């Protein structure tokens, strides 16, 4: 049993800022002189509404969301969004484009197929998703209801560096594994969504930023609870929201703002990436990155060792040294280092020291 917090590279749910957990601990029994925990507050109370509205305002501010968007807090994970998006926006007689850049993109595509006509507008499956498609490889339908992309491919360790230009077709992005990790031009997206458990907080809440003109195109026949318009009209208080998860999201956003906002978070992430990819490339005879350098993710770093035996040894010795969550997804194998926003740069420094030592001893 570890006596202290380990360096946690779990892919999701994942590490949270220690300062956020400490703050939540301090406020656990008596939140802001209410005499109760946030978990015990009414979702209609002034104290909770302040948390709720502040979380939305901070998210909007930090992401640089322009006027004319709604911020929503929904449940059902990013996976329910895979179904709600086509349910609401894939009108009869229309088709939607999906860019298949990895496992989660394929899952979104599969859910959409259940509702209507969808097209694969590009895929890198033939190269085991080791990069995102190039602009030239995309075959976009100019009449599509929307085009869906996955900004960061959590399992394959790839990330879009420039987002595709879909013209007047609304661009919808699953940003579950890289939201708030870098500056984006939010106004280019009709909708951005993310399960909170990688970069924003605990599991149980999904954040959505949706442009009002896109929202207005939603199909009226969808059942109220699954309609974006219902949640937008009710400020995400149509039913009881996951209050405690939203409270933690608010604390994480305050923490990110305290670091200096998205520019500072992005700089931290770039520094972590430089250190870790530098260590992989600097020991290229031992570590081999699986993602094409042009698509390398700054959130999930995937690499292989010379043999599966050495990979197993690496994971077990790393665990003993206080590094957890390093086993790669079974579809890629090898090692995956998930280093979301909250992962402190010192963790990557310590891990790369361990990696160099391991390569020296076993190479």
Ligand X SMILES: *Cc1c(COP(=O)(O)O)cnc(C)c1O
Residue ranges that bind ligand X, judged by CB under 6 A:
12, 77-79, 104, 150, 154, 174, 176-177, 195
Q: Which is nearer to ligand X, 174 or 283 (CB)?
A: 174
Q: Does 104 qualify as catalytic in the annotation?
A: yes
Is the previous residue joined to 13 through a cis bond, with omega within 30 degrees of 0? yes
* Long-range contacts of residues 134-143, Cβ cutoff 8 Å, at least 24 apart: 135/164, 135/165, 138/99, 138/164, 140/97, 140/164, 140/166, 140/167, 140/169, 141/95, 141/97, 141/169, 142/167, 142/168, 142/169, 143/94, 143/95, 143/169
In the complex, the smallest distance separating the C-beta of residue 176 from ligand X, rounded to whole angstroms, is 4
Whether the CA torsion 180, 183, 187, 192 is positive or negative: it is negative
In the complex, the smallest distance separating the C-beta of residue 104 from ligand X, rounded to whole angstroms, is 4
Q: Which is nearer to ligand X, 108 or 355 (CB)?
A: 108
Q: Which is nearer to ligand X, 242 or 273 (CB)?
A: 242
- CB 62: neighbour CB atoms within 10 A? 17
CA 92 to chain CA centroid, Å, is 30
In the complex, the smallest distance separating the C-beta of residue 174 from ligand X, rounded to whole angstroms, is 5
Q: Does 174 qualify as catalytic in the annotation?
A: yes
Whether the CA torsion 246, 55, 26, 18 is positive or negative: it is positive
Question: How is residue 145 written in tokens?
Answer: 């209801």
In the complex, the smallest distance separating the C-beta of residue 277 from ligand X, rounded to whole angstroms, is 20
In the complex, the smallest distance separating the C-beta of residue 195 from ligand X, rounded to whole angstroms, is 3
Q: Which region holds residue 303: left if phi is over 0, alpha if psi is between -120 and 50, else beta?
A: beta
Q: Which is nearer to ligand X, 104 or 314 (CB)?
A: 104
Among 7, 70, 174, 250, the one annotated catalytic: 174
Whether residue 291 contacts residue 131, with contact meaning beta carbons closer than 8 Å, is answered with yes
How would you class 216 by CB atoms within 10 Å of its CB: exposed for 0-12, middle for 13-18, buried for 19 or more? exposed
Q: Which is nearer to ligand X, 77 or 116 (CB)?
A: 77
Among 104, 160, 178, 250, the one annotated catalytic: 104
Q: Does 198 qualify as catalytic in the annotation?
A: yes
Among 160, 178, 198, 272, the one annotated catalytic: 198
Distance CA 338, CA 259 (A): 20
Q: Which residues are catalytic?
A: 104, 174, 198
């Amino acid at each position: 049993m570890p006596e202290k917090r380990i360096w946690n590279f779990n892919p999701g749910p994942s590490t949270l800022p220690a300062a956020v957990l400490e703050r939540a601990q301090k406020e656990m029994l008596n939140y802001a002189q209410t005499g109760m925990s946030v978990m015990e507050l009414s979702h209609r109370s002034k104290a909770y509404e302040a948390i709720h509205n502040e979380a939305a305002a901070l998210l909007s501010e930090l992401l640089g969301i322009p006027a004319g968007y709604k911020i929503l807090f929904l449940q059902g994970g990013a996976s329910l969004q895979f179904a709600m998006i086509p349910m609401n926006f894939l009108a009869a007689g229309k088709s939607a484009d999906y860019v298949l850049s990895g496992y989660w993109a394929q899952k979104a595509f599969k859910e959409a197929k259940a509702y209507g006509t969808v097209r694969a507008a590009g895929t890198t499956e033939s190269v085991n998703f080791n990069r995102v498609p190039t602009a030239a490889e995309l075959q976009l339908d100019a009449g599509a209801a929307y085009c869906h992309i996955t900004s960061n491919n959590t399992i394959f360790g790839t990330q879009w560096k420039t987002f595709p230009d879909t013209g007047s077709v609304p661009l919808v992005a699953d940003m579950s594994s890289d939201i708030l990790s870098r500056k984006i031009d939010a106004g280019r997206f009709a909708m951005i969504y993310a399960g909170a458990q990688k970069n924003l907080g605990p599991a149980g809440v999904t954040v959505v930023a949706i442009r009002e003109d896109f929202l207005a195109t939603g199909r009226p026949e969808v059942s109220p609870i699954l309609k974006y318009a219902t949640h937008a009209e009710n400020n995400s208080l149509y039913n009881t929201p996951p209050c405690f998860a939203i409270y933690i999201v608010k604390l994480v956003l305050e923490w990110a703002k305290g670091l200096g906002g998205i520019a500072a978070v992005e700089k931290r992430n770039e520094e972590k990436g430089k250190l870790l990819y530098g260590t992989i490339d600097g020991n290229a005879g031992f570590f081999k990155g699986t993602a094409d350098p042009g698509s390398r993710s700054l959130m999930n770093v995937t690499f292989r060792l010379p043999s599966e035996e050495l990979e197993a040894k690496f994971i077990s010795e790393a665990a003993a040294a206080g590094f957890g969550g390093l086993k790669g997804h079974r579809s890629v194998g090898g090692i995956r280092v998930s280093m979301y926003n909250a992962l402190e740069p010192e963790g990557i420094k310590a891990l790369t020291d361990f990696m160099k030592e391991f390569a020296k001893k076993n190479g």
